[in-house]
Amino acid sequence: LVWTMAASTRPFCPRRSLFLAAFALWIVEGRYVKSRTRTRGAVSPPPQRKSTLIRRRAVVFVPVLGVLSEGLLGTKSRGCADASTSPFSIGDLQQSIFADVIASGMDFYESVVREDKSSAFSSLFSLVEENKKDTQTTPVKLLDVGVGAGPNMNLYKESGLDLRVTGVDPNPYMERYAKQSAEQSEVPFQFQLGDANRLPFPDGSFDVVVSTLVLCSISDPEKALREIERVLKPGGCFFFWEHVKAPPDRPILGFAQTLLSPLQQVYADGCHLDRNTLQIIEQSKLFDSVENVRKLHFNDLTIVAPHVTGVALAKL
């Protein structure tokens, strides 16, 4: 249900229908069944039988309701995640719930990757200091693409650099959580609504661009990389931290990722389990070089255990 509510951007959104189906089924079983059980008393059938009956009816009725809602709640050309022409937007509801889930549901992931992620960011900031000689007098402008709820803010605080962080995200409901994280970490921060394929910034605006768990879900990663390269200053740093397809020496995991990736894309906002992000970055030839590459594997993360991180340097 959580992943269903995380809507993707499609002109016709079957996920919205499935969301409505699941949500309505939850209401029916959680509210209607209890009410009927209380009113009928001892003569009513056992709750388990009644619940099963409700499920069977809902299997037919609720999906029909969801499909009908597609016609009643029209969508814009950019997809159902943007907004509905109806005064009540299911897309807005989905984005709001997704923001809540991301803000409160990533603690386990961050605890698993904390040590390695901190080390990777330390290498990034060391590289920034080497490449930008005047970091002590001039603030470093950093763009966090797909900032989400701001899980990287504490790492920005630990950098020791005078950072000015801008976060861009297509979900407007992430702004509140990202700003809260920035305030708690005492990081100068501003939020900008937008997506990676159309970054709303002039050319050469940033010294550093950061992407953590973003390129896996972008429909056109090559276009996003072109945008990232465009907004970077000459010689700037593009830091990436992404889960990727398993290497050849883990064939079973790789097969499972390939098998489950289409389903993951449906339920996890377009996330690809089998995307080879490092290869995409290297083959784009948009950057002068790719430094500090590390291939990691976190057993506790199962299907998304393989990760890659590194820093791509913009051409001078």
The confidence score (pLDDT) of residue 91 equals: 66
Which of residues 182 and 267 earns the better pLDDT score?
182
d(CA 127, CA 196): 24
d(CA 6, CA 93): 9
**Encoded tokens for 228:** 């990232």
25 three-state secondary structure: helix
The confidence score (pLDDT) of residue 21 equals: 54
DSSP 46: P
List, for residues 86-139, the tens digit of each pLDDT value. 343 556 787 888 788 888 888 999 999 999 999 999 999 999 988 876 556 789
Report DSSP letters for 105-152, one per residue. Answer: H-HHHHHHHHHHHHHHHHHHHHHHHHH-TTTTTSPEEEEEET-TT-TT
The confidence score (pLDDT) of residue 158 equals: 94
CB 66 within 8 A of CB 21: yes
* pTM of structure: 0.72
The confidence score (pLDDT) of residue 87 equals: 41
